[in-house]
Amino acid sequence: MTRPRRPRRADRVDTARVSPGSDVGAGGAQGTGGLGDPLRYATTYHAPVLEAETVANLVTDRGGVYIDGTLGGGGHSAALLDVLEDDALVIGIDQDPEALAQARKRLEGAEAAGRFVALEGNFGDLEGLLRRARITRPINGVLLDLGVSSHQLDQAARGFAYGKPGPLDMRMGDTGETAAELIARLSASDLADVIYQYGEERRSRAIARAIKAAAPTTTDALADTVRSAVPTRDELKSLARVFQALRIAVNRELDVLEDVLPAALEVLAEGGRLAVIAYHSLEDRRAKQFLKNGRFSAQVEKDTFGNPLTPFKLITRKPIVASDLEVEANPRARSARLRVAQKLSR
């Protein structure tokens, strides 16, 4: 039997990056190791993952326009600004007002110079956000760093982590249904479906029945309920899966991903690139399929001669994963998978 090939680690591929320009983007960065330092653009608020590899594969025009669809603490935007020319523009999008405030403070010099624009909203509404902001310049690159930021995970009041007692919220923004409200609304059967589909948890029905009986409203209460429904040896894996499933459902993450990928393709100029960093298989499978043939179906569309029809050229045929050095410095980078594709001429 042929052994499957491992994803390429960043320290095993050529990640030579564009020579950095001014340091306007890096304000507040931690770490002093230069380009080889995986925490070069990290702050106490958030550490961007695969920063150097992302910039190296995304930037094709140093004077172009780039969208950071998941702004977070502004780390990837800062890195982009450092390699782009003065007439370039980085557009940061985030639905979390706190993240926007942090990023704007960090990048205030670039914003004042007209090199950075922050937009509040969900990246699923990418085209609408650009239209309302009257962004008319061609888009040369779009970055989507999926999932939850380090700060959101660490903040107990956000309710994302089972190891931090807090309200069972899990919203990435400040509007919409919380995880506690979702649990209260769903039947045990529907809740089990959520846990199975989004958490890939095989004990979903037993866990869902226990959750409905306990009706938890805090993260620690939910964690205790999950523990009561699974064998001790499986507690940690089941906790991670249940919390992931509820977070995905609360924020409609997979639905939004299936909205934003076609929108990114639409707004990209010919030759522009789309980069996606995914942290679990549900996201990564969708990103892989879309970057392969421009649709979410595994069936490849072909022309009359049998040639595959795709709007993309793959830049990374295998996902790039974090180097051992980065994983050691930032353990949350361990599960990250970076895929990049370039829009072809029509």
For 281-311, give the DSSP string: HHHHHHHHHHHHHSSSSSSPPB-TTSPBP-S
Q: How far apart are CA 275 and CA 316, in angstroms?
A: 10
**CB neighbour class for 307 (10 Å; exposed up to 12, middle 13-18, buried from 19):** exposed
pLDDT the model gives residue 173:
81
Q: How far apart are CA 180 and CA 248, in angstroms?
A: 14
Q: How far apart are CA 277 and CA 157, in angstroms?
A: 26
The token pair that represents 185 in the structure block: 């609304």
Helix, strand or coil for residue 101? helix
pLDDT the model gives residue 2:
43
In this structure, are residues 338 and 25 in contact, taking their beta carbons and an 8 Å threshold?
no
**CB neighbour class for 11 (10 Å; exposed up to 12, middle 13-18, buried from 19):** middle
pLDDT the model gives residue 29:
37
Question: Please, which residues have CB within 8 angstroms of residue 256's CB and are 6 or more apart in sequence?
Answer: 122, 123, 124
Question: Please, which residues have CB within 8 angstroms of residue 75's CB and are 6 or more apart in sequence?
Answer: 29, 41, 42, 43, 46, 47, 48, 51
Question: For 146-234, where are the alpha helices, taking DSSP H only?
Answer: 150-154, 179-185, 188-199, 204-214, 219-229
pLDDT the model gives residue 236:
96
User: Following DSSP, what letter does each residue of 245-267 receive, concatenated?
Assistant: HHHHHHHTHHHHHHHHHHHHHHH
Helix H or strand E segment including 90: strand 89-94
φ, ψ of residue 145 to 5 degrees: the values are: -100, 100
Closest residue by Cα to residue 78 from 100, 106, 101 = 106
pLDDT the model gives residue 70:
92
205-238 confidence digits (pLDDT tens): 999 999 999 999 999 999 999 999 999 999 999 9
pLDDT the model gives residue 158:
81
pLDDT the model gives residue 125:
93
Q: How far apart are CA 220 and CA 62, in angstroms?
A: 48
| Tens-level pLDDT at each residue, the chain (346 residues) | 444 444 444 444 433 333 333 333 343 333 333 347 899 999 888 899 999 999 999 999 999 999 999 999 999 999 999 999 999 999 999 998 989 999 999 999 999 999 999 999 999 999 999 999 999 999 999 999 997 766 666 677 788 888 889 999 999 888 899 999 999 999 999 999 999 999 999 999 999 999 999 999 999 999 999 999 999 999 999 999 999 999 999 999 999 999 999 999 999 999 999 999 999 999 999 999 999 999 887 676 776 776 778 999 999 999 999 999 999 999 989 999 999 999 998 7
pLDDT the model gives residue 102:
93
Q: How far apart are CA 57 and CA 59, in angstroms?
A: 6
pLDDT the model gives residue 135:
95
